[in-house]
Structure 1
Amino acid sequence: MTTTPIKPLANVTVVELARVLACPFADMILAELGATVIKIEQPGGGDETRSFEPQVGDESAYFFACNRGKQSVTANLKTEAGRRIVRDLTQSADIFIENFPVGSLARYGLDHTALRAANERLIYVSCTGFGQTGPYAARKGYDTVFQAMGGLMSLTGERGGGPVKPGLPIADLTSGMWIAIGLLSALNGRALTGQGCHIDFSMLDGQVSLLTLAAGRYFALGEVPPRLGTEHPGRVPSATFACSDGAFVHITCSDQHWLPLCQLLGLDALASDATLATNAGRVAHRERVMSTLTQAISGWTRKALCEACDAAGVPAGPIQNVAEVLADPHVNARGMVSAFEHPSIGTFGALPLPFKFDGFADPQVARPPLLGEHTEQVLRERLGYDEAHIAALRRDGAI
């Protein structure tokens, strides 16, 4: 007899007192892995991303992108009754996540010391720009500030040009992933000890941790890596090349791919040059190699070059725009383009979590909540509030 698989986080409850992107993205990951995520929002407006562009009817596609699968409960933190709702919800929660400025929630009695005193198993995450300690702790910042201060922008841009930000809010998105990793680690740690914890996460710290190979070059060589466009500082060739049809292909070769690449491009002189047989030699002769490849590839169309590289076993891929990615047959065969049904706008596209489980239920795209949609249900079912109590809370502006 087989049983229906469950989602791996089906026994986890999260209370989210956070807004914009990093924390909501982390919690959406948890939600679609099965966690119950209760998003606390301010009555009347909610998470400010509900008003962000682009708007679809009266809803925000920005909000949709990182708030799927959650329950929305309104609670006015300016009222004691609203704060009590948050405290009551954390009594039985596994995780509490917040991204308020350092020290702000202590004024409301919602800091980690207060909440964990009432629930020692609670895992409390504080996500701030610069952390709870250090000389920058009180500073404000957004995604691009952390990209700038964390070194990413210094590495991004064309050779000889100025710094460039990536096309997505990488600091926010990777912070969400770091937070999810930290939370899953803390859940396992709690299973070992029975105790919760406080996680102090700094978005700048998260960006510094991503420097990895760039920091490795600095530690090894004392080198401050320059901007190289799409080229790799330690591998040649690894770059994007322009094709005859105005499209682009990215090619990355290790030593075993070098001769096949030269052969398919008809570059006999490069293929026979023993100094170029190893990556170290090609790095030393970067300009010659890159200029020759650039010239040879400029006569190929994107489609023909990609097909030739595939046939020769040379790692290569077309530079695809968003529309091309979402129409890609492999992306669709993997189920990476989906949709949800929304009560006010109908069907809307969504990108599923990239996990395929054997033994657990796969994540499923769920719709984002309307503002306050679950307030009464959660107050009744989780907190035992009766109808008179809920009506009084609404009358007093607490919900």
Structure 2
Amino acid sequence: MRRVSHRTIAAEARSVGRAARRAVTVAGPERAAVVQALKAAGAALVAWAIAGWWWNAPMALLAPWTALVLVQSTVYRSVRSAVQQFVVVAAGTFVAAAAAAVTRDVMASMAIALPVTVLLGIWSRFGDQGWYAPTAALFVLTYGSYAPAEIGHRLLETLLGAVIGVLVNAFVLPPVHTDDVRRLRTRVPTEGAELLGDVADGIERGYEAADAEEWHARALRLGATVAELRAARRHSDESRRLNPGRRMRRPAPAPPPGDLAWSRVADHVAATLRLLAETARETPRFRAPAEEALSALAVLLRSAGQVCAADADRFATGDADEERAGRALGEARAAGDRLAELLGDPRRGASASLGELTAATTRLLDDLEAIAAPNLSRATAG
């Protein structure tokens, strides 16, 4: 047990060391985290310098505490959280002060104020900031600081910290998040191309149930990557709202949206590979497609993978062989037509599984064509 614990600690230390080196040597999430941490610390120092050192305010702690927590991952989130926090702190303070004024007893005041402020804290409108309402009420009641002047100081210093936190986040290296979008937008078609190529190779050499199940699991992971891309896109869009960094830092623009189309592509790939897995089981749910249909499917999937690879190159390097992508899309369409012909001829191996494969791959090619069409049109025009 001790040796396992030592290995775990050593591995964690190496991981921390690698993250620290990346923060120093390359731009990325590690460096962004360090920058935000330093900004939060700096905002707290500025707030304390004003409230504690210059003003010598009686509730000076509230200013740096508020400034610290409001240097968040986006400027919009800082502004929104500042409004939420000020509202809930004010509400918690006034509820606690009113309860204390009525009861003149700390225990009785808590019995009145805490249920109200906790309910306020879990209201979804206030998000993560809601719990500052019961926290503020506890501070008021336990320290007996509910005189009008003390309430005024509490709110003023909270407002000061909120303003400083927002200003520091907005004007000191304001965060604009596009790197994750670009990385994931390239990763999705890359993973799709690798998966479709592997499936085509497996169909041609012959596959077993375990192979098909693994392909289907990879298709589901592709869908999860698309979900990550959509979340990163939302975070990127949020980071541009209310953010002067759009003009100050001129970050690389995020790739144009195509997330919904890629979500559909991932769904169609998963449907196709789920069907292959179901027909390869020891007790298959459907009869496997005929050999001729599988050959056409292999051509279709390999060509579709080449279209995906061209899209990955386009976003990774800005350069893709559009003519090759157009030929690949044409070959995939021809293979899809072949599947449709086999489906229409009962003597050539038509089956329920072939019908589902034809429908899923037709949808797959439609969405891939929608993704690639603008670039293919420009290549043709050129």
Alignment TM-score > 0.5, same fold = no
Larger radius of gyration: 2
TM-score (norm 1): 0.24
Relative contact order (alpha carbons < 8 A, sep ≥ 6): 1 or 2 greater?
A: 1
- Indicate the structure with greater helix content: 2
- Indicate the structure with greater strand content: 1
